Amino acid sequence: MAQTGIGGHRQALRSLRTIMAGDGSAQHRLDRIVKVIAAEMVAEVCSVYVMRAGELLELFATEGLNPSAVHRTRLRVGEGLVGEVAARARALNLPDAQSHPLFSYRPETGEEIYHSLLGVPVLRGGRVRGVLVVQNRAQRHYTDEEVETLEVIAVIIAELIASGGLVSPVETAPAQGNAILAIRLEGVRINEGLAMGEAIHHTPRVAVPQLVADDPDTEHRRLAEALSAMHSELDDMLAHDAFGRPGEHRDVLETYRKFAEDRGWLRRIGEAIGGGLTAEAAVQKVLDDTRARMRQIVDPYLGERLADLEDLAYRLLHHLSGEVRPAEMEEQPESVVLVAHSIGPAELLDYAGKRLKALILEEGSSNSHVAIVARALGIPVVGRVKDALSQVDPMDPVIVDGDHSQVYVRPGEDIQQMVSEHFSERQRRLAAYSAQRDDPAVTRDGVEVSLNINAGLLMDLQSLDASGADGIGLYRTEIPFMVHSEFPSVEAQTDLYRRVLEGAAGRPVKFRTLDIGGDKQLPYFRESFDQNPAMGWRSIRVALDRPSMLRQQLRALIVACDGRPLSVMFPMIAEVAEFQAARSILDMEMKRAVRRGQRMPEPLEVGAMLEVPSLMWQLDSLLPEVDFLSVGSNDLFQFLFAVDRGNPRVADRYDVLSPGLLSVLESLVQRCAERDVELSLCGEMAGRPIEAMALIGIGFRNLSAPAGTVGAVKTMICGLDAGALAGFMNTLLSLPDHSIRERLRDYAIDHRIELNEL
Ligand code: PEP
Ligand code: MG
């Protein structure tokens, strides 16, 4: 081997660059490259192994080994010396390779005559894409400079592999070497569904070519032109109804569009240009400043604004620079799984329709703007996935399971198989649920259960039809309030509620009045920061302290009803006096409507949500006052067990199927039955078949849960003997156990009751 070091190999690198830039297939270029390396490094052998699917390193080109071994010799990562280089992702320098314990003799190669071996990994994006090897007959130790030279050459080979001409990048990704292990990431469910595809990163950065401007006037003009182009682009986006139906996603986009005209933002950019920066540098500076300020404050609303601002700033930078946005790039895989730290709603729409199948976010919450747009697009989204951008590389095959908040990255065949079985099973179940959509939910012993859905967006109304539910057991009115930039007028609210009632087409809807505060902040209504938001100034407490908000909402509901039935429930009632106060505000609005000669709701039903344990000790005075009670089991469980519902560290500490919670609920069932007051439960537990089964066992006959769960719960109900189950559960409630889940599961197995979730 030549002893000239890197400097002496410049000529070789130049030849390699010429080959790379030249014509011919990738294979042809690789064949020429191994020849050049062998000659330049005075090695009798030079071979390139490329990583293929299933963690296999395949001999792709060789100078010196038997040519018939090309595309035949394959080694697993970790197998033989080549496999060892890949597994350790480090060079291996051996004077006598054949005496190494890992030497794996492959007769087809004819390599038994070569003694020394130098292998380096071909790396790209921190992952092993192949192995480059030189071999010599003589026993010799390669110098450090020679190792370095080979590593530099490996960079060029990595480029060739990444070009996709040798094997499809999708195929190379699933191999499981040292740095290419299949991994599973957990996050939180932002939108349900299951999808697979290849990852692309949403990295909206745009290089700012010049920081200091030659002429501020030119920069101001450039900014004005870019802004006007951006505004018309946004107008086009809004004019083009991407979803073919109305919904809150349009409000999200309109809010965003207004933000693009925010005077404060534009003024600060103008000032930065005045200070001597180019337009690009000014936009970037204002974004950096705002980001630094906002990151100091942990606040979901500001987080949302920051996402909008970043989205707009990058959009504007793209207009200024004329660079192509990542979403517009031609080379995208068939099925795209987008990975982003955070993404604005409009940016997500840039990708929509471009084969977008799923979204993974490092941030995000289920009420975020992007979540609402994703729901309108019907793509699964898993959020709060830690370090997603560094764990998932571009073109990695990824499976996104929104139902179970899981992301499988570079899944091995076993996982792919498992998920595709899960996928088929899911499709089979969906078809079965859809076939029983119009059947009533009746147990084997003839007990009817009313199944309803929880909704909060206009687009959820479609699920009402699709699920075959009886009605909407909980309409969370706060979500539309959260996506606006200002308090919606009475007219806007009326219009919204009218659409909900029309969409429900006669099926009952329980409207819950505003449940804001805590983690659900309104952008335009911020009066306090609570130390302990779940127990702070939220929900009915806010409504009673600021009654005009509640009055306007109730007014809108009465007008929207226009003579139809109206069901209203007040959230988070802790004492009867609160219910009475809220009820008297409703009565005031009813009187106002009478005075104005409006058509009155008929009938009007008014209920309370039982979410705060204190109310259990005032049932005697509460029950005569309400038309119905609905248990908000998410909050009730949180307050009964003093367990923060949003804290993953305590999420599994207690079980809703504890004898404690179930006994409280059972006594509530009894008390409501004595007073003939309708009782329902609208927390998440109503949507999990085993938990819904327990609820029916203690006497619940009305449940409300996310739409996607109705089919599974109905299937469970149809296999159930409610009388027999009630007898069995009677024996369990006095147990000192942590949970009766296992006993219920065994019972279901013994009685052939299906407890599958989707
Ligand atoms: C509940 O607390 O169970 C409930 C249904 O209300 P939310 O989840 O909106 O607080
Ligand atoms: Mg609640």
| CATH number for 51 | 3.30.450.40
Give yes or no: residues 124 and 195 share one domain. Answer: no
pLDDT winner (highest mean) among 50-59, 121-130, 303-312: 50-59
Answer yes or no: is 525 within a domain.
yes
Report which bound ligand comes closest to the CA of 456: 1
pLDDT band at residue 210 under the 50/70/90 scheme: confident
- The finding on whether 515 has its CB within 6 A of some atom of ligand 1 is yes
| 459, two tokens | 């687009």
Same-domain pairing of 336 and 312: no
* pLDDT category of residue 300 using cuts at 50, 70 and 90: low
- 473 CB under 6 A from ligand 1? no
Q: What average pLDDT is seen over the chain?
A: 86
- Burial readout 198-225 (b: 16 or more C-beta within 10 A, e: otherwise): bbbbbebebebeeeebeebeebbebbee
Both tokens of 63, joined, read: 């100078």
Res 3: pLDDT: 44
Write the CB contacts of 577 (distance below 8 Å, at least 6 apart in sequence).
none
Cβ-contact 453, 469 below 8 angstroms: yes
Domain-embedded: residue 176: no
Q: State whether 196 and 276 are in the same domain.
A: no
Q: What's the CATH code of the domain at 299?
A: 1.10.274.10
pLDDT of res. 176:
40
Q: Does residue 612 share a domain with residue 742?
A: yes
Residue-level length of the chain = 758
Does any domain span residue 758?
no
**Residue to mutate, 540, 640, 682, ligand 1, most ligand atoms under 8 Å from C-beta:** 682
- Name residues whose C-beta falls within 8 Å of residue 428's C-beta, 6 or more positions apart in sequence: none
CA 312 / ligand 1 centre spacing (Å)? 34
* Listed residues 384, 416, 448: the one ending a domain: 416
Last residue of a domain, one of 385, 416, 447: 416
Same domain, 290 and 400: no
The whole-number pLDDT of residue 178 equals 35
Closest residue by Cα to residue 375 from 433, 301, 462: 462
Strand order across the beta sheet in which 127-136 lies: 74-76, 56-63, 45-52, 127-136, 116-124, 92-94
Place of tokens 């070789």: 12
User: What's the gap in Å between 540 CA and the centre of ligand 2?
Assistant: 11
What domain count does the chain have?
4
What tokens does 689 get?
């078949």
Report residue 308's pLDDT band, with 50, 70 and 90 as the boundaries. confident
262 and 348 belong to one structural domain? no
Q: How far is ligand 1, taken at its centre, from the CA of residue 127, in Å? A: 45
Same domain membership, residue 279 and residue 145: no
CA-nearest residue, atom 1 of ligand 1? 632
Mean pLDDT of 214-219: 88
Residues 447 and 580 in one domain: yes
Contacts 24+ apart (CB under 8 A), 77-80: 77/51, 77/128, 77/175, 77/176, 77/177, 77/178, 79/104, 80/104, 80/106
Q: Is residue 611 within 6 Å of ligand 1 at its C-beta?
A: yes
648-679 burial, b at 16+ Cβ within 10 Å, e below that, comes to eeeeeebbbbbbbbbebbbebbebbeeeebeb
C-alpha to C-alpha distance for 681 and 753, rounded to whole angstroms: 22
Residue-level pLDDT at 131: 95
On whether residue 269 sits in a domain, the answer given is yes
More confident residue, 317 or 622: 622
Report the residue among 460, 474, 535, 702 best suited for mutation to probe ligand 1: largest number of ligand atoms under 8 A from its CB. Answer: 474
Rounded Cα–Cα distance for residues 286 and 307 (Å): 14
CA distance 330 to 621: 67
Note whether residue 425 is domain-resident: no
In the listed set 416, 450, 472, which residue is the last one of a domain according to the structure?
416
Please determine, for residue 734, whether its predicted confidence score (pLDDT) is greater than 90.
yes
Question: Residue 87 and residue 99: Cα distance in Å, rounded?
Answer: 19
Give dist(CA 219, CA 287) in Å, integer.
17
**Full DSSP string of 451-466:** EEEEE-STTHHHHHHH
* CATH code of the domain in which 511 resides: 3.20.20.60
Range of the domain at 560: 436-750
Same domain, yes or no: 126 and 242: no
What does residue 66 show for φ and ψ, rounded to 5 degrees? -60, 120
- What integer pLDDT is reported at residue 10 of this predicted model? 67
Same domain, 317 and 408: no
End-to-end CA distance of the chain: 63
**Is pLDDT above 90 for 451?**
yes
**304 within ligand 1 shell (Cβ under 6 A):** no
> What angle, rounded to 10 degrees, do the helices at 248-259 and 300-321 form?
60
Angle between helices 689-697 and 722-730 (to 10 degrees): 80
Residue 555 lies in a domain: yes
Taking alpha carbons only, the member of 510, 501, 508 closest to residue 458 is 501
For residue 478, the CA-to-ligand 2 centroid distance in Å is 12
Whether residue 5 is predicted with pLDDT greater than 50 in this model: the reply is no
Do residue 451 and residue 309 come from a single domain? no
